[in-house]
Each structure stands twice: as structure tokens, then as C-alpha cells.
Amino acid sequence: MAKRNGRIDGKKGIPTIDQNIYPFYEQDLKNTYEASIQILTREWQKKDRGLKEDYCKTCATANNLKERIKEKGLDYKAASDARDKFSDAFSHMHTVPKAYWVLFVFLALCEFPMNSL
């Protein structure tokens, strides 16, 4: 619509080069956009109020967690060392993966004749 109005006004010689007043449709577009921006700004402000509250709560929780992590840091290190000792002690448990494969292949081969009977 604006393009069409621009062509029509261009054929009529509107606006003139030294004109300081904008055409009506440009003023109307400008006013419409400003009103839309104000509505959008109000909606964003409403959303921002709720998000700001959530953000502040999250920051407080994060700061609390950082303090708790500092307090529990030594306990974590001790637990980590104990886990490493435990995993070293039981890492050499006896497992025979080749024997399991042989057993599974044997059972799979025996399954077909059993099912055919």
C-alpha cells in the first residue's frame, strides 16, 4: 500500500524537494509504528518483571550453591580419593568376555534346532 501511494504521489510531484511537512500516509505509518512499539514495550516490560524476579532468585541460588561447593570441596576431594582407591582395588575382577561370546554363540546355534522341534 505504501509503495502504491508512493508511486501515485511521485507521479503527482508530491512531495516537493523543499517540503518540510510529511505526507499524511507517512505520518499515519509513523504513528502506527510508534503505537505498536509502545504496546510491544509494555508487553516486554511485563515479561521482564517476571523474568527479573526469576533471574534474581536464580542468582541467589547460584551464589548459595557456590558457597556450599566451597564448603564441601574438601569432602569431595576425600570422596574422590576413596573412589579411586576402591576402583583400583576391584578393577581386576575376573571376567572372561571370550568365554561369554562362545557361550552365547553355542546357545544361539542350539536354539534353532530346538525351535524346529
What pLDDT score does 95 carry? 64
User: Structural domain of residue 30, as residue ranges?
Assistant: 2-116
What pLDDT score does 81 carry? 82
Alpha-carbon Rg for the chain in angstroms: 38
What pLDDT score does 94 carry? 61
Phi, psi of 42 (to 5 degrees): -65, -40
Number of folded domains in the chain?
1
pLDDT < 50 regions, the chain: none
What pLDDT score does 67 carry? 86
Q: Helices 24-90 and 2-12 sit at what angle, rounded to 10 degrees?
A: 150
What pLDDT score does 97 carry? 77
What pLDDT score does 38 carry? 95
